[in-house]
Amino acid sequence: MYYPEELIEEVRQRNDIVDVISGYVRLQKKGSNYMCCCPFHGEKTPSFSVNRARQIYKCFGCGEGGNVVTFVMKYENCSFPEALKILADRAGVELPQAEYSEEARRKESRRQKLLQINKEAATFYYYQLRTQKGERAKEYLDKRRLSEETRRKFGLGFAPVKGGELLSYLHQKGFNDELISAAGLAKIDEKRGTVTQFWNRVMFPIQDINGRVIGFGGRIMGDGDSGPKYLNSPETEIFDKSRNLYGMNYARSARTGNIILCEGYMDVISMHQAGFTQAAASLGTAFTPGQAGVIKKYTKDVLLAYDSDGAGVKAALRAIGILRAAGMSGKIINMSPYKDPDEFIKNLGQEAFQERIDNAENSFMFEIRMLERDFDMSDPEEKTSFHNQIARKLCEFSEDIERENYIEAVADKYHIGFENLRKLVVNMAAKSGGYAVPIERPRSGIQSRNKNTSEENSKKLQRLLLTWISEYPQLYPKIKSYITTEDFTQELYAKVAARMFDDIEKGCFNPAVIINMFDDENEQSEAASLFTTQLPELESEQEKEKAFKDILLKVKQNSFDYYSARSNVDIAALNKVIAGRKELEELSKTHISLK
């Protein structure tokens, strides 16, 4: 849904950022800002700053930053239109309704009916657990040590032995057999008619990221009953197993900075009851790239709490590959001497499990440790094969620095000479056509650091200049003959500068508005950093003027160097160099007052 900029700005203006964020976290006034511990990463010392005058926030710990809309998007884990709707409702602003085609309206209506059927079924199962019919299921949950509060939180229920009871209940609610079947709750058979999917099972409602029931999992109660121990709803128009995770509707709001991925419903429930509310699980299938994509919206750090048996190790190794392909880091929680998180927590408790989380093993080192089990390390030939396998896996890293760090870690752990292992990796890469052969590391490490530092310094200088101008907008008319958007060599910075300079000229500059120019979350945080970079603490006006001019000259010099490097092949760059030299000379002789 497209909303005009004027409407977005009206919603933003009618939602004071301090008031909104105070509704989520406790803010304390400190100087001109409001502070708290960051809600987006774990910390003990407050580094999350909210500025009422500029209507922006910034965490100096994790780097998150933005305006009131981006905060709601991040905290509620929702899209831009959803965040705008939340804020519009809060402020009493009416947003235009999306116009749907007749076909789209029909599909949406059917989808809502299927969601309503599942909601009613969940209510039915929940009630059945609390009747005489659900006595055996209650005993099972008692044995699993689940509190009544936990049972309510996850909506646990019971599907009675007579499946027809659910059908009668849903018929009374006005739903026909076709819709009940489409929701995955029954099958229509030519001989037997409509037959329910679940009976005599403890029921686990499966909710989507927004807390809507989209399916069910059921654990059978009768030992002699036919059918699998656990049974899930089939895939439907509203239930895609590959793109949903059990418990993710709660885990996304855990504020722990990570997600614990496990294998079963009971693992998730047990962990939430113990306080580990970041736990989620795949839905009776192997972990999928689609599920990795869901998790990545909320965190890049995943802890695997899979079963410690052979099948669990195999599943963990597969999940590691999927996480790595999605650009996420994974660690392994050691569950020994128990099979799964549920058993571990029941026997050793919450603190012991937290220790295992704190000491979770790097996923690559876990892979190597599992690989080692396939070789007899007392046999020189087997040992050599193991080292070759390590080298082959190290070739998978595309970044030189990352690969070098892992070579060093593996060489240290397995007592292999660093240079020997490094040569083996280089040879393996050459033979297999892997990633580019790593360059020789300078002994001092100065060259590589300087290369990164030069670019970072350039970005920092440009950030500082934009922060100075945003703090002292009256400076821009005094320097606009010396500085242009082209002097900001970072594309995003140039876009911000262009809008900022234009708004200052018009007398309507506001940092919070500029952040809305960007759709990408990372770009929003980066844009916010341009207005929140910490300026030097200087007392006298003279010191401030000198500091500002130094920054301005350095940015201009950086721009001159940037275009000079391109002047041999780019006429436009050559013209900028000629103009830049003259501007630098004039600027060095000019006094710039902050008043």
Q: Over the range 175-212, which residues count as b (16 or more CB within 10 Å of their CB) and which as e? A: beeebbbbbbbbeeeeeeebebbbbbbbbbbbbbbeeb
Residues 6+ apart with CB under 8 A from 431: none
CA distances for 574 relative to 24, 481, 560, 586, angstroms:
53, 19, 10, 19
- Give, as one character, the DSSP assignment of residue 99: P
Task: Give the separation between CA 40 and CA 252, rounded to whole angstroms.
Answer: 11
Report which residue type is found at 518: F
Tell me how crowded residue 148 is: count the other CB atoms within 10 A of its CB: 10
Most confident of the ranges 23-37, 146-160, 292-306, 313-327: 146-160
Whole-number pLDDT of residue 333: 95
Minimal CA–CA distance to 50: which of 23, 24, 30, 80? Answer: 30
Task: Give the separation between CA 532 and CA 550, rounded to whole angstroms.
Answer: 19
| DSSP letters spanning 295-313 | HHTT-SEEEE---SSHHHH
Q: Which of 26-40, 116-130, 540-554 shows the lowest per-residue confidence on average (mean pLDDT)?
A: 540-554
CA distances for 456 relative to 119, 408, 441, 511, 572, angstroms:
52, 26, 21, 23, 25
Minimal CA–CA distance to 408: which of 420, 393, 392, 396? Answer: 420
Does the structure show a pLDDT above 80 at 270? yes
pLDDT, one tens digit per residue, over 356-382 is: 999 999 999 999 999 898 899 889 999
pLDDT more than 90, % of the chain: 35
Residues 6+ apart with CB under 8 A from 227: 220
pLDDT, one tens digit per residue, over 341-359 is: 999 999 999 999 999 999 9
Most confident of the ranges 67-81, 132-146, 325-339: 132-146
Minimal CA–CA distance to 213: which of 242, 249, 187? Answer: 249
Mean pLDDT over each residue of the chain, to the nearest integer: 84
Higher pLDDT, 487 or 452: 487
pTM for this model (two decimals)? 0.64
pLDDT, one tens digit per residue, over 426-469 is: 888 776 555 433 434 333 233 333 344 567 778 888 888 888 88
Higher pLDDT, 247 or 39: 247
Q: Are 333 and 305 in contact (CB under 8 A)?
A: yes
CA terminus-to-terminus distance, the chain: 44
Question: If pLDDT is split at 50, 70 and 90, which confidence band does 8 have?
Answer: confident
Whole-number pLDDT of residue 587: 64
Whole-number pLDDT of residue 219: 93
Whole-number pLDDT of residue 456: 75
Question: If pLDDT is split at 50, 70 and 90, which confidence band does 289 have?
Answer: confident
CA distances for 379 relative to 255, 376, 399, 417, 420, angstroms:
48, 6, 33, 19, 19
Tell me how crowded residue 243 is: count the other CB atoms within 10 A of its CB: 15
Q: Is the dihedral of CA 209, 211, 212, 214 positive or negative?
A: positive
* Structural domains in the chain, sorted by start: 5-91 (3.90.580.10), 104-238 (3.90.980.10), 248-368 (3.40.1360.10), 374-432 (no CATH), 447-588 (1.10.860)
Higher pLDDT, 243 or 436: 243
Strand order from edge to edge, sheet including 213-220: 157-159, 201-207, 213-220, 230-232
Does the structure show a pLDDT above 80 at 96? yes
| DSSP letters spanning 491-528 | HHHHHHHHHHHHHHHHT---HHHHHTT--SHHHHHHHH
Partners of 189 in beta bridges: 193
| DSSP letters spanning 438-498 | PPPPPSS-HHHHHHHHHHHHHHHHHHHHHHHHHH-GGGHHHHTTT--GGG--SHHHHHHHH
**Three-class HEC string of 315-349:** HHHHHHHHHHHCCCEEEECCCCCCCCHHHHHHHHC
Strands (E), 180-316: 186-189, 193-196, 201-207, 213-220, 230-232, 259-262, 279-281, 301-304
pLDDT, one tens digit per residue, over 208-222 is: 988 899 999 999 997
- Write phi, then psi, for 300 (nearest 5 degrees): -105, -5
* Cα atoms in the Cβ-side hemisphere of radius 13 Å centred on 572: 1
pLDDT, mean of residues 470-481: 85
> How many residues are given for the chain?
595
